[in-house]
A and B are shown apart, each in its own frame.
Chain A
Amino acid sequence: DVKVTQSSRYLVKRTGEKVFLECVQDMDHENMFWYRQDPGLGLRLIYFSYDVKMKEKGDIPEGYSVSREKKERFSLILESASTNQTSMYLCASRILRGGDIGAFFGQGTRLTVV
């Protein structure tokens, strides 16, 4: 059974902290993504990676960085957390050319920055 696992369901961090969100997939997918979900804005792409050590900026990369040292793991880093980064963060993976096979999502991490 396909699985994308995010390391935390809920996190509370202080403004200015460095935050790591981890994601692991067991499907040997090339592509991995980080989205954030906010009410009325849908899912917005932060960063994605199509191979180990490769990364591409999404639509809202400011304030974030990513790391992909191994194929199965994709980490999102908030260099200095701010309150406007309070959100639901969703990791996803997909085969190289997914076509009608959609991306598979993790359960999400609800991050609150205080």
Chain B
Amino acid sequence: DQQVKQNSPSLSVQEGRISILNCDYTNSMFDYFLWYKKYPAEGPTFLISISSIKDKNEDGRFTVFLNKSAKHLSLHIVPSQPGDSAVYFCAASGETSGSRLTFGEGTQLTVNP
């Protein structure tokens, strides 16, 4: 039972353009959503998060949007840079799951110069 899904295994964009990574979830008890970035041979690093009481959170070039009714969130990166090339994981947690994070499958983003 995959509670968090990232349906696009890969995404390729040109430098300077917008990157949009998508994530869907099924568990309505999730109340926090997080994005992580992972380079090869390194651990994931926390990027940005959003609470279920908000519909948008922005941090520099990164913005996360949450649509609770659709159980969908997205990460926008504007403008995209070659250094953004990495695997991006969506994660969720909720009151009933305690502190554990449930992750999606990941999306490989490639930003071409």
Q: Which residues of A contact B (CB under 8 A)?
A: 4, 9, 30-31, 33, 35, 40-45, 48, 50, 58, 90, 92, 94-108, 110
Could you say which interface size class chain B belongs to? Answer: 20 to 34
Judge if B41 is at the interface, Cβ distance under 8 Å.
Answer: yes
Query: What 0/1 pattern do residues 72 to 113 of B give for CB contact below 8 A with A?
Result: 000000000000000001010100001111111110000000
Q: Which residues of B contact A (CB under 8 A)?
A: 6, 9, 32, 34, 36, 41-46, 49-51, 89, 91, 93, 98-106
Given contacts A40-B9, A41-B105, A50-B98, contact A102 B91 (CB under 8 A): yes
Enumerate chain B residues within 8 angstroms of A43, measured Cβ to Cβ: 44, 89, 91, 103, 106
8 Å CB contact of A105 from B9, B41, B44, B49? B44
Enumerate chain B residues within 8 angstroms of A92, measured Cβ to Cβ: 43, 101
Q: Residue on B with the closest CB to A6?
A: B43
Contact call A50/B102, Cβ cutoff below 8 A: no
- How far apart are the CA atoms of A39 and B44 in the complex, in Å? 14
Contact call B99/A45, Cβ cutoff below 8 A: no
- How far apart are the CA atoms of A101 and B41 in the complex, in Å? 23
Contact call A99/B51, Cβ cutoff below 8 A: yes
- How far apart are the CA atoms of A97 and B101 in the complex, in Å? 11
Contact call A105/B45, Cβ cutoff below 8 A: yes
> What are 13 of the A-B contact pairs (CB < 8 Å)?
A4-B43, A40-B9, A42-B89, A42-B104, A43-B89, A44-B103, A92-B43, A96-B99, A100-B51, A102-B46, A102-B49, A103-B101, A105-B44
